[in-house]
Amino acid sequence: MNFSELRDHALEKIRSSQSLEDLQRVKAEILGKKGQITQLMRSIGSLPKEERPEAGKVLNQLKAELESEIKKQAELLRPLQPVAKSWIDVTLPGARRRIGHRHPVLKTLDEVENTFVSMGFEVVEGPEIEDAWHNFDALNTPEWHPARDEHDSFYIDGKVLLRTHTSPVQIRTMLSNKPPIAIISPGRVYRKDYDATHLPMFIQVEGLYVDRNVTVAHLKYVLEQFVREIFDIDRKIRLRPSFFPFTEPSFEVDVSCGVCNGSGCQACAYTGWLEILGAGMVHPNVFKNVGYDPQKWKGFAFGMGIERVTMLKYNIGDIRDFIRNDKRFLENF
């Protein structure tokens, strides 16, 4: 990737914009969902392993520089509004106009994706309507598991449902690709749950890494890097034994409380820790279901709700604030 040439070309287009409309088109071309920088970030996973971290770091720096340059150019292009009538006192403050704000959940999702992309993971998406085999059976979830009950999941018919997690994307990826694999799968998921800490629809990001000789140490290192990037370099994690059908061993992962720095307070119920995600080593039965030899390949997986991460990042007490569309709440971000 010739980052220097891309930078020079992008800066030239930004600085040569003659109007805010032109600048907006240039911004979309460079930084939009289908922009050059975004496409390059998504392609990092195809680079050799040793090149991925440096490429991710350079792209993030380039993105920040271009965003700053676009902001400067916008200030230069923003013209003074002409005085419509001579009797208007232009020294008086104008009427306040409320403008939109980027939603905190989407801001956090961007940060999470960029963090894992910089570590060499590829972003992969899949369908929101799934069959029971990809959603449950292939993930070693037995027929009697409570997650398969109708009071927990949204079924369209007996074998088709709205996915309850993005883990089926991992199954689809392993079925169509040979190891090594390093992916994250962001997307909406659906469960019959609604209270101060749960929503019936939320955004989840799951990760999968498969290679030879993968251990829990690799999993812990990746999660530690993630926590330091999203929260703070001094935040710590701990792994508690748990159970998930698709991983063995399984862990609940906690992050040290950012309010009390782990000493114990009301926010963390005086434990010093806050639960953030679930993780574990991929169960051998999952590998068998996709045709991988569990004696040859090892892997780890993790899954997190982006709303949960956002609540911990910004100390938000009620997850339902995210869907109330209260401008006063959104203006905080």
- Mean pLDDT lowest among 45-49, 119-123, 151-155, 273-277: 45-49
Mean pLDDT is highest, among 195-199, 203-207, 319-323, for 203-207
The first and second tokens of residue 98, run together, are 């409320």
Q: CA angle 77-82-87, nearest 5°?
A: 155
DSSP assignment letter at 292 = -
CA dihedral of residues 166, 223, 253, 264 (deg, nearest 10): -140
Question: For the chain, what percent of residues have pLDDT higher than 90?
Answer: 47
For the cut 50, the answer to whether the pLDDT of residue 115 exceeds it is yes
Average pLDDT over residues 69-91: 68
Dist. CA 143–CA 134, nearest whole Å: 13
Q: Among the residues of 119-166, which ranges form H helices?
A: 132-135
Banded pLDDT at 81 (limits 50, 70, 90): very low
User: How far is C-alpha 242 from the chain's CA centre?
Assistant: 23
For the cut 90, the answer to whether the pLDDT of residue 220 exceeds it is yes
Q: Per DSSP, what are the bridge partners of residue 275?
A: 254
* DSSP H or E run through 300: strand 298-305
What was the pLDDT predicted at 253? 95
What was the pLDDT predicted at 97? 76
CA 183, 189, 195, 196 torsion-angle sign: positive
What was the pLDDT predicted at 80? 43
What was the pLDDT predicted at 79? 62
Q: Among the residues of the chain, which ranges form H helices?
A: 3-15, 20-31, 36-42, 52-77, 104-118, 132-135, 167-176, 216-230, 284-289, 306-314, 327-330
Banded pLDDT at 209 (limits 50, 70, 90): very high
Q: Per DSSP, what are the bridge partners of residue 304?
A: 205
pLDDT digits (tens, 9 = 90+) for 182-197: 999 999 999 988 877 7
pLDDT digits (tens, 9 = 90+) for 158-187: 789 999 999 999 999 999 999 999 999 999
What was the pLDDT predicted at 82? 47
